[in-house]
Structure 1
Amino acid sequence: MTASYTPKLVTVLREGYAPATFWRDAIAGLTVAIVALPLAMALGIASGASPDKGLVTAVVAGFLISALGGSRVQVGGPTGAFVVVIFNVIAQHGYDGLLVATLLAGLILIAAGVFRLGRLIKYIPHPVVTGFTAGIAVIIASSQVKDFLGLAIDKVPADFIPKWQAYLGAISTIHAATVAVGAGALAIIIVLRKFAPKLPGFLIAVVVSSVAVAVLKLPVDTIGSRFPDIPAGLPMPALPAISLAKLNAVLPSAFTIAFLAGIEALLSAVVADGMAGTRHRSNQELIGQGVANLGSALFGGLPATGAIARTATNIRSGAKTPVAGIMHAVFLLLFVVFGVKLMAFVPMTALAAILFMVAWGMSEYERFIALLRMPNSDRAVLLLTFGLTVLVDLTVAIGVGVTLASLLFMTHMAETVEVDASGTQDPDVDSEDVHQRDALPAGVEVFRITGPFFFGVAGELLDTLRRVGQSPRVIILRMRLVPLLDASGVQALGEFIEQAHIAGAQVVLSGVQQQPKTMLERVRLGGHSDKLFYAADFANAQALALRLLESPEPPRP
């Protein structure tokens, strides 16, 4: 109980922290800071605030998330998921209203951690998460068209369709120099990402475009022309003006911020676990996120959460402990104190190019397309959530998506119930209990999955693989008692097969029923490969496992 509420930083320090580890963490922190610097500025502007607000958030919240969170390598800060919500809150309630909403969201996240709600993330269906994430990506990209093209529009409408009507109405005002600088920045990012992915593409694009605009004296809008009075350093912490009326007004937005922060932070922590081989503490992660949002609001910053892209960069750069995330915040603080004047030279169109790439990464187009190959029910949840996110409201989209997914799931469950009037039992059901490991050879592991494999239990399969310890050479998954496999189950099973393959293990699926097999065929997992094999029953699976052990090459199906 106490361990689940201990920050990972405390655990690391108790284990012993060597100077060599600090050096690796510091290098990783510097690398992430270089990536986060232009991104924080761009997200601050896209949210309807200013670039310094994004940097303050990255410094304060980034430090607290790493210091108090439940993940070893999580990096936090402002993210694209909040852009739509922040923009709307500022438009409706002013910046003070956003600070109050962020404070409330922090308290909600702390309460969620205290009441052990961290594991509820697994009950958010995969099509809902993908749908609203892709919808946010479309909104972010749409919001940057004006700056990227240099359109002469005084005020861009907030809603999606009126926004594009305004863009089309002002299409004749496209500014050639602005487009050229933006296209150049976008090209630099894409080329570096393809041919030199280890280089900080965002920062290089910003530096090159800033130098080009300054040297060539191009008439392009910059941060300095848009925000002439950016302060240096961190502001003093202060409470915003709070009243009962304002609390009531921003409470729905606070729940939305807390919901998004919790989902993205825990999803990022799960991704980090898969990449780094660690295991996060979900409830402590929520508490750390809550404290970080409280701190960000007190310093006048934006809502914050775990950032998947920055976390992945942190891991690839060699980070081992939360100190890497703390160092990332320290390096950003040095820039805020000593280099803030350099921000004035950054072209707005270059930041728009960065946000186009952020939106592209958020869209998860491959996963979106894969879900479109799922049955009509999963497609309906995906497309409805996506459409409502873009055209109506994020909160409505999530609520409707989760409700529809739950109703469809209950319908599927009712369809899978069969009444056997013969009084006989499937003999395989009786044999699936205590004797399955009796004749198991060394190097083979077996797991039995019982019941529908849906979004609520999909994560358990990956947890099971991590608990095995030393990876076996063959893993048998007994699936005769799995009547239903949904889109999230397919995703988890695919990740399980991929991680097993990376660990040097091959997977055998035993006794797969027709509905799960049809679902696997939709995502190209329906046939034999060097990673995956099928067996009609457990006896055939054991025989196949023996052949896999004896043969250096996968046997022919």
Structure 2
Amino acid sequence: MKSDWATATRRDLLAGVTVAIVALPLALGFGVASGLGAAAGLVTAIVAGAVATVFGGSNLQVSGPTGAMTVVLVPIVAKYGHTGVLTVGLLAGLMLLALAFARAGRYVRYVPAPVIEGFTLGIAGVIALQQLPAALGTPVPGHHVTMNAVRAAAEFARHPHWQPIALATGVVVIVLVGGRWRPGVPFSLVAVVTMTLAATGMDVARIGSLPSALPAPSLEFLDLGAITALLPSAVAVAALAALESLLCATVADAMHGRQRHNPDRELFGQGLANVVTPLFGGVPATAAIARTAVNVRTGASSRLAALTHAVVLALIVLAAAPLVAHIPLAVLAGVLIATAIRMVQFAAMRALMRGGKADALVFFLTAVTTLALDLVTAVIVGLVVASALALRAVARSVQVSRTVLDEHTVEFRLNGPLFFGAAQRLLFALADVTHARVVVRMSEVTTVDGTGAQMLRDAVDQLRGRGVEVEIAGVRPEHCNKLAVYGVPIPQPTVLA
């Protein structure tokens, strides 16, 4: 037993070190991409990584700055500056805590797969476009990702500068090719070291100064006057943090096979992490799918692995900040572009294409909305369209069969849910009845909502107004109260048939 504990501990420590090596360039890159700088990315990975690990609901998750969150933060930085982002992070953290206490974590299971896959593809596209100016060595002002990429490409065409694009391309090739050759090797760090050494003496933009220690916590950034204006941005950040963290926890459980996360505790951990991280100058954080996957694949089984990742990153800040500061921005852009490419799940996309037009429509609509507007809007649009298509499918599955029993009597048998999406079909079926007696048999009705009950009552009233005798038969006991409330005449007691 003691030997098993020692083995598990060694695996967790090794997994934590491995994740830290993978997380270092990503934390730096996402910090730069957010507009707050590489130091903010490192601080976020350390502080949020530790707090979310200790207080979150998953034993396997690794939290920190992510590409999806970066996409949301760029326009906030452009409009409100550094303090606006920190204030938004704090507000979003408080919202996540409220969601945790409201036990809202369970509802993420209702997000359809096409929305998740479209959301992921859209994020990958935005991250790649976002890094194009740095990769081309042609930074341009503004926060509209697509327009910035177009302007950067046009500027590069007029005044090509080959060193940055060579560095970024080299990183992408090393990460993608190396990852397929030896998946267990942290090729992102290998690529960063290799290309940084290759850039020695080149005139390219670099990260710049990094802190040699974590800054002291402070509330001086809090902009009380702008809180009302920042609330919509905070809602977007909180929604994204909740969605990405809970989806990531679900993926981690599936990968491990023997772990189950607590969704409400996970929201609490992410909320607390986002309350604490801005005090140290960090950006809003969430669970990171890529780092979590590395954590699981390298044998992690407890929170010790993610906590070790945060400690190792803190040691890097203390011991190697001057070296890290010399990394070229184009190198980090290459890391993030490679990350974006690896985010695209081609097998899942092919499965969705074969799954039918409805799934394909939701997938592409979510992806395009992510690119054109923003992530939260994309998820909302995807959910609305997916829900509408699902309701249409359910409504079409409802069957109303007609059987003539004799020259005076006709029977209608309902099969499926009698709800607002399908009740009109029953009304049309009963509208042209010419027999003297109608039997509506409901033993195969699975559920009844208010609209369905109301339309059934209206149909009965219309038939009786034309002198047609109507009998409601086979009503299930669980539907009696609903029908009675809306005045549907049902026999008491009802007899199932």
TM-score by length of 1: 0.69
The amino acid of 1:42's aligned partner reads G
Q: Does 1:220 align with 2:204?
A: yes
Change (3 A) 1:48 1:162: closer
Distance in 1 (alpha carbons) for counterparts of 2:33 and 2:145: 15
Larger radius of gyration: 2
The amino acid of 2:112's aligned partner reads P
Q: Does 1:248 align with 2:234?
A: no
Change (3 A) 1:96 1:41: same
Q: Among the aligned pairs, what percent are the same residue?
A: 40
Tell me the CA shift for residue 16 of structure 1.
Answer: 13
Out of 373-382 and 36-45, give the one that drifted further. Answer: 373-382
The amino acid of 1:126's aligned partner reads A
Q: Does 1:45 align with 2:32?
A: yes
Say whether the 8 Å CA contact 1:99–1:240 is kept in structure 2: no
SS at match of 1:49: coil
Q: Any idea what the Cα deviations from partners look like across 1:320-362, whole Å, max 9, x if unmatched?
A: 1101111110000001112111112212111111101111122
Equivalent residue, structure 1, for 2:239: 259
Q: Does 1:35 align with 2:22?
A: yes
The amino acid of 2:308's aligned partner reads M
Equivalent residue, structure 1, for 2:369: 388
Say whether the 8 Å CA contact 1:220–1:347 is kept in structure 2: yes
The amino acid of 1:55's aligned partner reads L
Equivalent residue, structure 2, for 1:327: 308
Question: Which of these residues, 316, 338, 353, is aligned with residue 372 of structure 1?
Answer: 353
Equivalent residue, structure 1, for 2:177: 191
Question: Which of these residues, 268, 278, 292, is aligned with residue 248 of structure 2?
Answer: 268
The amino acid of 1:378's aligned partner reads D
SS at match of 1:74: coil
Distance in 2 (alpha carbons) for counterparts of 1:104 and 1:141: 28
Q: Does 1:287 align with 2:273?
A: no
Say whether the 8 Å CA contact 2:136–2:152 is kept in structure 1: no
Out of 242-251 and 41-50, give the one that drifted further. Answer: 242-251
Equivalent residue, structure 1, for 2:394: 413
SS at match of 1:419: strand
Q: Any idea what the Cα deviations from partners look like across 1:244-303, whole Å, max 9, x if unmatched?
A: 541111111111111111111111111111121211111111111111111111111011
Tell me the CA shift for residue 365 of structure 1.
Answer: 3.5
Equivalent residue, structure 1, for 2:166: 180
Equivalent residue, structure 1, for 2:210: 230
Question: Which of these residues, 343, 346, 349, is aligned with residue 327 of structure 2?
Answer: 346
Q: Any idea what the Cα deviations from partners look like across 1:48-69, whole Å, max 9, x if unmatched?
A: 1211111100000000111111
The amino acid of 1:234's aligned partner reads L
The amino acid of 2:49's aligned partner reads G
The amino acid of 2:153's aligned partner reads Y
Change (3 A) 1:128 1:359: same
SS at match of 1:339: helix
Equivalent residue, structure 2, for 1:356: 337
Distance in 2 (alpha carbons) for counterparts of 1:154 and 1:356: 18
Equivalent residue, structure 2, for 1:456: none
Say whether the 8 Å CA contact 1:135–1:363 is kept in structure 2: no
Say whether the 8 Å CA contact 1:99–1:297 is kept in structure 2: yes
Distance in 2 (alpha carbons) for counterparts of 1:219 and 1:356: 22
Equivalent residue, structure 2, for 1:171: 157
Say whether the 8 Å CA contact 2:126–2:145 is kept in structure 1: no
Change (3 A) 1:166 1:272: closer
Tell me the CA shift for residue 425 of structure 1.
Answer: 9.7
Question: Which of these residues, 105, 118, 131, is aligned with residue 92 of structure 2?
Answer: 105
Question: Which of these residues, 385, 388, 391, is aligned with residue 404 of structure 1?
Answer: 385
Aligned counterparts, 1:511-550, within 5 A? none
Change (3 A) 1:319 1:211: same
Distance in 1 (alpha carbons) for counterparts of 2:377 and 2:315: 40
Say whether the 8 Å CA contact 1:157–1:163 is kept in structure 2: no
TM-score by length of 2: 0.77
Tell me the CA shift for residue 221 of structure 1.
Answer: 2.2
Q: Any idea what the Cα deviations from partners look like across 1:388-411, whole Å, max 9, x if unmatched?
A: 211123332222222222222211
Q: Any idea what the Cα deviations from partners look like across 1:441-467, whole Å, max 9, x if unmatched?
A: xxxxxxxxx99xxxxxxxxxxxxxxxx
Q: Any idea what the Cα deviations from partners look like across 1:104-134, whole Å, max 9, x if unmatched?
A: 1111111111111111001222222222221
Change (3 A) 1:240 1:367: farther
The amino acid of 1:138's aligned partner reads G
Distance in 2 (alpha carbons) for counterparts of 1:240 and 1:16: 49
SS at match of 2:199: helix
The amino acid of 2:197's aligned partner reads V
Count of residues in Structure 1 that have an aligned counterpart in Structure 2: 410
Distance in 2 (alpha carbons) for counterparts of 1:123 and 1:266: 12
Question: Which of these residues, 69, 83, 91, is aligned with residue 70 of structure 2?
Answer: 83
Tell me the CA shift for residue 424 of structure 1.
Answer: 11
Distance in 2 (alpha carbons) for counterparts of 1:292 and 1:37: 19
The amino acid of 2:207's aligned partner reads I
Aligned counterparts, 1:297-312, within 5 A? 297-312=278-293
SS at match of 1:223: coil
The amino acid of 2:199's aligned partner reads V
Question: Which of these residues, 96, 109, 123, is aligned with residue 136 of structure 1?
Answer: 123
Say whether the 8 Å CA contact 1:156–1:166 is kept in structure 2: no
The amino acid of 1:107's aligned partner reads L
SS at match of 2:217: coil
Distance in 1 (alpha carbons) for counterparts of 2:391 and 2:152: 44
